[in-house]
Structure 1
């Protein structure tokens, strides 16, 4: 353990002692790996120094954050270029996808703390990155061969490319769409297929994901009303990732779902909207509430999510570290949400 001045802290260092504010509130707990945005937060509280572990060094997390940011900028540039009439930069997107796949193959949880970023002006691009990450995680856990996994990743990140052909005044409309406007938006799947089939370096399997990711297992989807295994495997994976991520975003016509509510929706629609076998793999594979995120409970308590994955992460174990109001928490305590139904997560703080 060593004492380090705040100005000398670097992302990746691991706390050896809790950071406690003057009023007794816990800011960060022992064992927490520092990230860039938390260094800025520590400085806001005028904390002069903290204790970190001796072997702390910059970790892979920083590179994952960089990869996520680069992927966001890549898909944003591609979609803006397509809207202006240019071709897809296939080499750029393939290079970016390769980095994500390699990271997830080594550890399918590495990006989970980065998904769910919400910025209304960049929603479509961030959503595309998240859908890609969730799809790769599911594909990896389905033991897809590398060629299929690569096609899945490319199709997932480009699944909404057809929205570049939808008028911006409809896509960005600050109100619920009319029936006729919704019919125009629905054409994005066919537009996407046309764009990708005409793009050199992308195959039919990738293009089908843009076409079929809104098809439903029971045949009630669009554009062709395909049913069951008439829908290609990769599109059935992306369909789940697409809805799961979309539900957790605010819309003008509805409030966002909390992650556990989105997971419960996916489970409830298994066998009707979604392929039930893929739903099982998807829920087993993801961290609904990733470890170390800070959440608020319906009791007003603020807690850190403990390590968990799969179905247990829908109602995870958490460590209560402070309260929104009332007396400070001097001794953090654990709450297992699966065994305490009166507790619910109502917000994500960070």
Structure 2
């Protein structure tokens, strides 16, 4: 199974991962053969990438949480975010608000238990999402990624709960940002960027007087865009002033944003995302956390097609522990026909690197 942009999906391709609509209902089950009309319908739903099964990649990629739990979490966040603007002042201190936090608290427990019960805590699957439910799916993904890093950092369960709650709610302030800005399909203007930047303060202000949420979770909502070098927002805090859990969510937030399609941009190649994180370790992000994070991410899953720096095309056969950008590969196409079929472990060949993912071998 491999991830392919919708424009590269050919008719008669097998769908590798079930698609859901914004309400969590199944649109297409995995294993369905995609015809031209179905592919066109998927494009109309603003789904920009699909997992497919083909001759290069038939192995299933296991998600760290069950698909049903992921969809339930997305719906929980969608309902919570949608209700905010409907609350009156009286509602804010009523059973409605209590139910709102109780649902997210229960979802937090479910996510923590699911990930703690997973034997291998690595991050390899990108969630497929419609642009219509982007913000909700993003919030859930950031929570999952944050938990994976939090577990690797050996945080106690009480801190993991605060981490997950804060991550699920980190973008709650965007409920107060005009939808025409958030859902814009082209680049933001400088004025629109300044409006969007207000979401962390708006979210914190909304949650600040709630006794149902820990102070750590509230800090995540406020600080997830602060930078280690003090050039973040809203308060230009430097490293020692930023909450530890906020530093975790900062990494998870940018990783998910850059590695998935969003309303105004296409996903970056996973190796480029990791290189961005590594080049900004100690500047934007906590240096030690980035080093740990980069060891638990699997950017090139088994079956990924890649272009190499020498012009060869190859397929990823195995990942190398602690060296995510240097997997073992097999050459599929080369100007030198004697190289076709050659197996190389890139961790033993520093002269050869992966340039980018490719989607077809012509």
Output the TM-score relative to the length of structure 2: 0.71
Q: Is the 8 A contact 2:115 2:121 kept in 1?
A: yes
Alpha-carbon offset, residue 222 of structure 1? 0.4
Alpha-carbon RMSD across the aligned residues, in angstroms, is: 3.5
1:209 and 1:342, CA in 2 relative to 1: closer, same or farther beyond 3 A?
Answer: closer
Aligned pairs, number: 297
Unaligned 5+ runs, structure 1: 1-26, 29-33, 45-59, 326-330
SS in 2 for 1:131: helix
Residue in 2 aligned with 1:183? 194
Residue in 1 aligned with 2:152? 141
Cα distance between partner residues in 1 of 2:233 and 2:68: 36
Unaligned 5+ runs, structure 2: 1-12, 19-28, 37-61, 88-95, 335-339
Residue in 1 aligned with 2:132? 121
Cα distance between partner residues in 1 of 2:167 and 2:156: 16
Alpha-carbon offset, residue 216 of structure 1? 0.3
Q: Within 5 A, what are the aligned runs for 1:319-330?
A: none
Alpha-carbon offset, residue 319 of structure 1? 5.3
Q: Is the 8 A contact 1:109 1:286 kept in 2?
A: no
1:212 and 1:63, CA in 2 relative to 1: closer, same or farther beyond 3 A?
Answer: closer
Q: Within 5 A, what are the aligned runs for 1:1-350?
A: 37-41=29-33, 64-85=66-87, 87=97, 89-107=100-118, 109=120, 112-250=123-261, 255-289=266-300, 291-292=301-302, 294-297=304-307, 301=313, 303-304=315-316, 306-310=318-322, 312-318=323-329, 334-338=343-347, 339=349, 341=352, 343-347=354-358
1:109 and 1:334, CA in 2 relative to 1: closer, same or farther beyond 3 A?
Answer: farther
Q: Is the 8 A contact 2:328 2:346 kept in 1?
A: yes
Moved more, 270-279 or 301-310: 301-310
Moved more, 142-151 or 99-108: 99-108
Alpha-carbon offset, residue 336 of structure 1? 3.2
1:334 and 1:243, CA in 2 relative to 1: closer, same or farther beyond 3 A?
Answer: same
Alpha-carbon offset, residue 109 of structure 1? 4.6
Cα distance between partner residues in 2 of 1:149 and 1:182: 31
Alpha-carbon offset, residue 163 of structure 1? 0.3
